[in-house]
Structure formats: C-alpha cells, structure tokens
C-alpha cells in the first residue's frame, strides 16, 4: 500500500474533520487575499484625496477584522485537522501492536526489538506528519496559490502576473531533484535511528553482563559510533530539506525583480496605479507561503514514504502460526500426540549440515488422560522444549497431529488454546510491577488471599514476606530485583493461579534447590487432588522432578527411546536408570 492510498483511505473515513478544516482554510485564504486588495484601495484613495477620516477608520477596522478572522480560523482548523491526523497514528500503532502480539517465536528470531520499537515510534510519527502537517500545508498552500494567482491575473494586471511566473518552472525542477535526495536521506536516517535504538535496548537489557565482562567502554564506543552515524544521516536529510528554501528565495527574488521592472515602466506610462503595484507586490509576497509549503509538503511526504516502506512489510508479514480455529471452548478429554514430526527450518550459511532441516521431533506418539502427569526427560537438545512448543502452537508439526478432547489443536482459536494452558518456560519473564501484580497477571481480579495461596504452593510466600513491602514489592524490569529461583517460583505461582486445566513446566525448577523442589511438587500433588481434571507436563533435566509422574518418556534426538513409570524405567536399566543413579550419587556428595 502506497502512502497516498493509506492517507486517502484515512481521509475518506474521517472526511468530516478534513472537510470542516478545508472550509476554515478556505476562509483563511479568502481573508488573506482580501488584505492586499483592501490596502491598495486605501492607498489609491488617500493618494487621490477621496477618503475622509470616517472612511479611513472604517477601512482600518475592516483590516483589523480580517486579521482577527484569520487568527481564529487558523487556530480552529489546526485543532480540527491535527486531532484527525493523530488518530491515524493511533490506528497504525494499534495495528502494529496487534500484529506483533499475534506473531510467534519464529518471527521474533528474525527481528530486532529496537528496530520494532523504532517502527512504532519514529516511523509512525513520520507517517502521521504526512497525514497531518503535509496534508494541511498542501491544501492551504494550493488554495492560497490559486486564489492569489487568480486575483493577480483578474484583479490587478495579467501582464505583471505572467512575467512574475517565468522563474517558477525552474523552481519546480529544483524541487523534483531535491525531493529524490530527501527520500534517500530520510530512509537512511530512519534506518540509522533504528540501529541506534536497537543498540540502546540491548545494552540496557544486558547491562549486568556488560559490567561483569568489563565491556562498558567498548559498548560506549559502539554507542558513540552509532550516534554519530545517526546524527550524520539526520543532518544529511536536513541539508537536503534546507535546499528548498534557497530555491524558493531565488525564484521569488527573480519574480520580484521582473515585476518591479515591468510594474515601474507601466506606472511611468500611466497604465498602472501605485496602489495597484503595491497590491501586486503584497500578493507576490503572499506567494512565499505556498512555495515554502510546497517544499515542506514534499519533505514530509518523502519522510512518510520512507517510513511506510519500512513499516508496511512488517504489517504484511504472514503470521508465523495461523489462527483459523473456530472452537472457543476446550473439549474435555485426553491430550494425544499422533506420530508427530517437526523439523527446524534450514539455514543456508554455506555449510552442508545447515542446508538441511534439523529433525527435532520424530514420530512422537503420546497419550495424556485428564488428571495425569507426564514427565519429559532427556539430554539437552533431545526435543523436550520443542514438544511443548508444538503443544502451545508456537510451532506447527510437519507430520502427524496433536488432538485435545478429540479435536485437533488448530481447530481451537489460539486464545482459547492458550487460555487453557498455564506455561512456565525455562526463562521466566516478570513485568515491571509488584510481586502481587505479576502473580495475578492471568487473573487481575484475584483476591490477595488467592494470590498468597498460589505463592505458598510455589514455595515463595516466605521469601516475599521478607521483602520490606511484601507482596507490593516492585520486581524491577524483567524481575531484576529477584534471584533466578525466586523469579521461577513467582512464575509458577502465576501459572497455578491461572486455574487452567493443563500445566506445563519447562525445566521450571532448575534454579531451586532440591528441598524447595520437593515442597513445590508436593503442593502440586495436593492441588491435583483438589482439582481432579488438572493435567501436568513436566520437562526437566532433574529426574527427581518427574518421579511421581504417571508416565515418563525419555527423548533422544527427537525420538521416544524409553517410556514408563519411574519404577518401570529403573527396571529397564537404560538411560533413565543410569542418569538416576548418577544424580542420586551427585546429590549424596553435595549433602556431605
């Protein structure tokens, strides 16, 4: 979609605001062109001694009235038009946010957070200005130009008007050349700002790592380089935008010189009055605004075009996971994986190994009845997290299918599916809010007693009470004020409060000690007894987390190589049994 089509569609939807602004702008232009004519009339009347004191006073009051009318109308149309253009910014930011919120992890693996933030701020501001300032300046300048030229041709002298317009084609050629450079410079400026924004975001997010590695100076040098590049790009764009003014100045200077030369000769020949020449000169001065408006409009439009060229591909990017489901209620029943296969996309980096998809899940078949617990174990990279991503529909399997309650997962809407799953990922994310607000994220209206109950089940209640503000303690950005284990337990409490029929723990107990892990698992057992339909899938590298699971599967290279209960797997004397003995030995040594 081009900028003209985007703005045109917006104007059609909000035509009342733009129409009323146009009427007021017409009133401003009309009052503006009447001023020089009135001044010329007064000058000729005074020169011919036709005006008395009363007529002169009335004429001056009329000029004052025109000035007041221009002031009031200008304020009114600005308020009316800017309020409309700001709505375009709201619409674009809303559409961008909705698109970003609907995208899956695969999309964000290709995007930079700082770049996305720049698109939602700086780039949309440029488009908003094109719909506001550019549109009003273009309409105002065009209307003023037409009315001024009309009255110069028909109301003053057509010969003066013709000769005054001779330099204008050269100005149009200069504008055309300048606008192409403005577009290129504006596009580069937006990209440089985006790169700077991305560096700042990454630096602030990883500031503790930078300090730990002593990389502050190197990061500061990178920031300085990016800042200089962004400043140079912005300055280059401003230089080209500034080139409009000399083109306007030279054109009007040439037009004024030609006008005064011919006008002086016409006055000398008695074919033109001094008042008419004065009026014409004032009208010529009024052409300054339309010319500057033309340059300003071209500049804003080129900035808007460059910004839309960056924003539109993002808005047109297909969703990484389609949401075409129609079921808005989860059907009770088992969760079944039927011969599921999933391969990560290939990345052609020149090596033969990466040119082929990597199989993360291979012929995985599982069945989890309501109220049961499934344990997923295996070495790092065996496919545990990938299986959970398939269940969350963050990844779409290329083979087999997953059903819940007899319906394929893609038959449910994403909102319905994810509302039925409480997920605690490997890296728990907390928002810049209080501990209580983070726990109650899925249920903002939860009572404090419910929040505290969930915190007790997650074995974090006592830790919270040790903070000076208790549950009202701010956790800082991404939970920076809490330890890794505390963040995990707050996230677990949040998932338990959500009251969903399926709980997913993706190595969510890795940062807690074995004693705390045992307390949390015991609380989960108690919760399952009070909520018989609650199912759980626990992916963990620590086998003690899945000992009580109804079914435990061992994954290796995406395939199920062992399955059964804890006792059955020990009897098999395979990978699970070997890993169990090793971890038990390790725990006994740690206890010494």
pLDDT in tens, 407-456: 998 889 888 888 888 888 887 788 888 888 888 887 888 888 988 888 88
20-24: long-range contacts at Cβ-Cβ below 8 A with a sequence spacing of 24 or more?
A: 20/77, 20/80, 21/77, 21/80, 21/81, 21/84, 21/136, 21/139, 22/139, 24/73, 24/76, 24/77, 24/80
Q: How many CB atoms lie within 10 A of CB 422?
A: 23
In a shared domain, residues 489 and 565: no
- Rounded Cα distance between 286 and 294, Å, is 14
In a shared domain, residues 175 and 262: yes
In a shared domain, residues 307 and 415: no
**Angular region, 469: left φ>0, alpha ψ -120 to 50, beta rest:** alpha
Whether residue 347 lies inside any domain: the answer is no
Length of the chain: 592
Final residue before a domain boundary, out of 316, 333, 351:
316
Q: Which stretch of DSSP H or E encloses residue 75?
A: helix 53-102
pLDDT at res. 350: 42
- What is the span of the domain harbouring residue 465? 425-499
pLDDT in tens, 195-224: 887 777 777 777 777 777 777 788 788 878
DSSP per residue, 381-398: TSSHHHHHHHHTTSS--S
Q: What would the mean pLDDT of 540-554 be, rounded to a whole number?
A: 89
| 32, pLDDT greater than 90 | no
In a shared domain, residues 512 and 460: no
In a shared domain, residues 291 and 302: yes
- Domain count across the chain: 3
In a shared domain, residues 20 and 122: yes
In a shared domain, residues 22 and 58: yes
Tokens representing residue 465 in the block: 């009470």
Query: According to the per-residue pLDDT averaged within each range, which of 63-72, 74-83, 145-154, 276-285 is highest?
Result: 63-72
Whether residue 24 lies inside any domain: the answer is yes
Q: Evaluate whether 186 touches 314 at the Cβ level (below 8 Å).
A: no
341-348: long-range contacts at Cβ-Cβ below 8 A with a sequence spacing of 24 or more?
A: 341/397, 341/398, 341/399, 341/400, 342/386, 342/390, 342/395, 342/396, 342/397, 342/398, 342/399, 342/558, 343/398, 345/106
552-591 CB burial, b ≥16 within 10 A, e <16: bbbbeebbbebbbbbeebeeeeebbbebbeeeeeeeeeee
pLDDT at res. 568: 92
Q: Evaluate whether 230 touches 196 at the Cβ level (below 8 Å).
A: yes
CATH of the domain at 445: 3.40.50.300
In a shared domain, residues 219 and 94: yes
Q: Which stretch of DSSP H or E encloses residue 457?
A: helix 448-457
Q: What would the mean pLDDT of 85-93 be, rounded to a whole number?
A: 79
In a shared domain, residues 410 and 429: no
In a shared domain, residues 309 and 374: no
Whether residue 444 lies inside any domain: the answer is yes
Shortest CA distance to 343 belongs to which of 285, 401, 386, 297? Answer: 386
Return all residues near 533 (Cβ < 8 A) that are at least 6 apart: 332, 370, 371, 501
Tokens representing residue 371 in the block: 């109220």
pLDDT in tens, 320-368: 777 788 888 888 889 999 999 988 765 444 444 444 556 788 889 999 9
41-46: long-range contacts at Cβ-Cβ below 8 A with a sequence spacing of 24 or more?
A: 41/275, 42/275, 43/274, 43/275, 43/278, 44/273, 44/274, 44/275, 44/276
Of the listed ranges 80-84, 103-107, 307-311, 507-511, the least confidently predicted one is: 80-84
Shortest CA distance to 421 belongs to which of 537, 517, 341, 524? Answer: 537
Whether residue 351 lies inside any domain: the answer is no
CATH of the domain at 50: 1.20.1560.10
pLDDT at res. 357: 58
In a shared domain, residues 399 and 439: no
Question: Residue 321 carries which DSSP code?
Answer: S
- Rounded Cα distance between 75 and 272, Å, is 38
In a shared domain, residues 429 and 399: no
- Rounded Cα distance between 81 and 21, Å, is 6
């Amino acid at each position: 979609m081009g900028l003209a089509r985007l703005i045109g569609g917006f104007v059609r939807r909000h035509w009342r605001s733009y129409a009323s602004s146009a009427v007021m702008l017409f009133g401003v232009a009309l009052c503006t062109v009447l001023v020089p004519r009135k001044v010329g009339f007064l000058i000729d009347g005074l020169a011919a001694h036709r005006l008395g004191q009363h007529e002169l006073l009335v004429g001056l009051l009329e000029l004052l009235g025109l000035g007041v009318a221009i002031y009031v109308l200008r304020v009114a149309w600005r308020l009316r038009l800017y309020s409309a253009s700001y709505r375009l910014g709201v619409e674009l930011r809303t559409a961008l946010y909705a698109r970003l919120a609907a995208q899956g992890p695969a999309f964000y693996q290709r995007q930079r957070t700082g770049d996305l933030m720049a698109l939602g701020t700086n780039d949309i501001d440029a488009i908003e200005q094109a719909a506001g300032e550019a549109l009003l300046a273009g309409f105002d300048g065009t209307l003023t130009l037409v009315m001024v030229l009309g009255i110069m041709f028909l109301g003053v002298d057509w010969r003066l008007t013709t000769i005054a317009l001779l330099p204008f084609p050269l100005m149009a050629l200069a504008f055309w050349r300048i606008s192409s450079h403005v577009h290129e410079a504006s596009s580069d400026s937006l990209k440089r700002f985006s790169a700077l924004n991305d560096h700042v975001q990454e630096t602030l997010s990883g500031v503790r790592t930078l300090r730990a590695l002593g990389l502050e100076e190197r990061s500061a040098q990178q920031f300085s380089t990016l800042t200089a590049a962004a400043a140079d790009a912005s300055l280059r764009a401003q230089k080209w935008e500034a080139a409009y003014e000399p083109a306007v100045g030279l054109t009007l200077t040439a037009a004024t010189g030609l006008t005064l030369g011919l006008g002086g000769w016409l006055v000398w020949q008695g074919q033109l009055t001094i008042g008419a020449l004065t009026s014409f000169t004032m009208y010529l001065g009024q052409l300054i605004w339309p010319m500057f408006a033309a340059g300003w409009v071209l500049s804003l439009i080129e900035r808007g075009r460059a910004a839309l060229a960056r924003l539109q591909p993002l808005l047109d990017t297909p969703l990484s996971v389609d949401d075409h489901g129609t079921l808005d209620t989860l059907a009770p029943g088992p969760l079944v994986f039927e011969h599921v296969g999933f391969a990560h996309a290939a990345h052609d980096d020149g090596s033969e190994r990466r040119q082929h998809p990597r199989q993360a899940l291979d012929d995985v078949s599982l069945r989890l009845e309501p109220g049961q617990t499934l344990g997923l174990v295996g070495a790092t990279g065996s496919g545990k997290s990938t299986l959970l991503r398939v269940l969350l529909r963050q990844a779409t399997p290329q083979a087999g299918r997953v059903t819940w309650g007899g319906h394929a997962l893609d038959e449910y809407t994403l909102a319905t599916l994810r509302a039925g799953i409480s997920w605690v990922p490997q890296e728990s994310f907390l928002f810049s809010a209080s501990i209580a607000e983070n726990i109650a994220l899925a249920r903002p209206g939860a009572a404090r007693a419910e929040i505290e109950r969930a915190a007790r089940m997650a074995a974090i209640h006592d830790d919270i009470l040790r903070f000076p503000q208790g549950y009202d303690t701010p956790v800082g950005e991404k939970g920076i004020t809490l330890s890794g284990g505390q963040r995990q337990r707050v996230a677990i409490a949040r998932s338990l409060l959500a009251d969903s029929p399926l709980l997913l723990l993706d190595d969510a107990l890795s940062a807690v000690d074995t004693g705390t892990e045992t307390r949390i698992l015991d609380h989960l057992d108690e919760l399952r007894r009070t909520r018989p339909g609650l199912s759980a899938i626990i992916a963990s590298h620590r086998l003690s987390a899945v000992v009580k699971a109804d079914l435990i599967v061992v994954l290796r290279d995406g395939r199920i190589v062992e399955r059964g209960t804890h006792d059955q797997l020990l009897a098999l004397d395979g990978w699970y049994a070997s890993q169990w003995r090793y971890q038990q030995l390790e725990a006994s040594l740690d206890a010494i």
